[in-house]
Amino acid sequence: MDFSKVKLVVSDMDGTLLNNKGEVSSLFFELVDDLKNKGVVFCAASGRQYNSILQKLATLKEDIYIIAENGAIAKKNDQILSIQPLSKSKIKKIIPVLRTIEGAEVVLCSENSAFIETKNKGFTTLFQEYYHTYSQVDDLLKTLETTEILKVAIYHHESSEKYIYPKLKEFKDEIFIKISGKNWLDLSDEKANKGNAVRELQQSLNISKQETMVFGDYHNDIEMLQEASFSYAMKNAHKDILKIANYSTDDNNNYGVEKILKQVLASK
């Protein structure tokens, strides 16, 4: 395959660039440095908060773009490129519904921090893998009074698709609902998704869909996979993603992203 056209590489984090231990390979850092020298731009695009993504990719901070909170915010080196908050009135309607779902944990995500009201220690420990900066509060609705929210993330200990999504169908016409993992579901503004954020980045860099490569594994990657001719599903991806992507690669524990990036470098 001819990868010589590729100018922009965009990768999801969990289940894609990160292995199941939440690690980025040392090989990846070497490859991104080599790609930069060949004029190829890298962007991480995740449902994670910006600070969490940055923690994983800290040594690359000055050279890469970061799309966080499933597209609600995009930054380069702390400079905001785009931001799309979620209506507070909509959040106020949804939180009472979320509180009725047994086994669900609710997270409000702002630009610089996340907020939880649960005191479940097991969830709090797990949650810190995805949200590096956070506060525990008594009432999420009170947090809304003083804080702009970009996304509401909901975790279910068994299945977000089975137990959370059916409870939120009534809101699907006024809010962007996305199953972002086996246990996670995200709520955002209708305009906030990874695809729109990637498209804005392409426009700012004057890079076309035909010059873009994207890697993903779950439903929150659908829109951005559609913005790239070189769209790759991980071997471990949800079956829906394997159908949508133009190509596939090895799984996240076997250097699926790195194997393709090596081929990109070989074509330059």
Residue 119 reports pLDDT greater than 90: no
Residue 101 reports pLDDT greater than 90: yes
Return the closest-CA partner of residue 140 out of 109, 124, 116.
Answer: 116
Phi-psi region of 105 (alpha: psi -120 to 50; beta: other; left: phi over 0): beta
Return the closest-CA partner of residue 70 out of 158, 188, 172.
Answer: 188
pLDDT tens, position by position, 26-54: 999 999 999 999 999 999 999 999 999 99
Residue 78 reports pLDDT greater than 90: no
Residues in the chain: 268
Question: d(Cα 193, Cα 197) in Å, to the nearest integer?
Answer: 7
Q: What's the CA angle centered on 44, arms 41 and 46, to 5 degrees?
A: 155
**Under a CB-based contact definition with an 8 Å cutoff, are residues 113 and 133 in contact?**
yes
Domains of the chain by start residue, with CATH: 8-83+192-267 (3.40.50.1000), 88-188 (3.30.1240.10)
Average pLDDT over residues 72-85: 94
Question: d(Cα 40, Cα 34) in Å, to the nearest integer?
Answer: 9
The mean pLDDT of the chain is 94
For 48, list phi and psi in degrees, rounded to 5: -65, 165
Residue 178 reports pLDDT greater than 90: no
Question: d(Cα 118, Cα 102) in Å, to the nearest integer?
Answer: 13
* Axis-axis angle for helices 256-267, 26-37 (nearest 10): 20
Question: d(Cα 144, Cα 236) in Å, to the nearest integer?
Answer: 37
pLDDT tens, position by position, 229-250: 999 999 999 999 999 999 999 9
Q: What's the CA angle centered on 25, arms 24 and 27, to 5 degrees?
A: 140
Q: If pLDDT is split at 50, 70 and 90, which confidence band does 166 have?
A: very high
- Beta-bridged to residue 230, according to DSSP, are 213
Q: If pLDDT is split at 50, 70 and 90, which confidence band does 98 have?
A: very high
Helix (H, G, I), strand (E, B) or coil at 255: coil
Question: d(Cα 95, Cα 76) in Å, to the nearest integer?
Answer: 32
Return the closest-CA partner of residue 233 out of 220, 224, 242, 225.
Answer: 242
pLDDT of residue 131: 87
| Both tokens assigned to 108 | 């409000």
Return the closest-CA partner of residue 106 out of 192, 219, 186.
Answer: 186
